[in-house]
Amino acid sequence: MAKDPRAEANAYLRAHGIKELFADLGARLMFERPKDPNAFLLEELERVQDSKVRGFFTDTDIAACFAALDPHDTGTITAKQYAHALKSMGVEAPKEPLDEGTEVVAKDDFMERMKRELAPPPLTA
């Protein structure tokens, strides 16, 4: 019996982190909104290849995301805002979901959680 080509394709995508790569690139593209998206994507891919960058978002990017969700500078955001931030940065299924019943997320917790969520899997040889 022949193998299912869809299953093989999905296995390939999972094994090589292709979906995550495209999600990261798409999120970075929407965050930066460059005038020449093709050149921007090429530069990002070259940067990843040349320096083996572990993630696209810097601490400054993550802090800016938090600031956008906390315009009154309260130092906290709601759990719903946190979920929105994850999705806007390309994380559809969090590795570490908030504990059930969590209502607010402090900035320090947000920063640490986002760094872990946005960290790509270790590079393989």
> How confident is the prediction along the chain (125 residues), in pLDDT tens digits per residue?
568 899 899 888 888 778 888 888 888 898 899 999 999 999 988 877 654 444 567 888 899 999 999 999 999 999 999 999 998 888 888 989 999 999 999 999 999 999 988 886 654 43
Rounded to 5°, the CA angle 83-119-17 comes to 100
Provide the β-strand partners of residue 104: 78
Report which of 74, 77, 115 is spatially closest to residue 96, judged by C-alpha positions. 115
Token digits of residue 97: 């979901």
Q: Are the CB atoms for 70 and 77 separated by under 8 Å?
A: yes
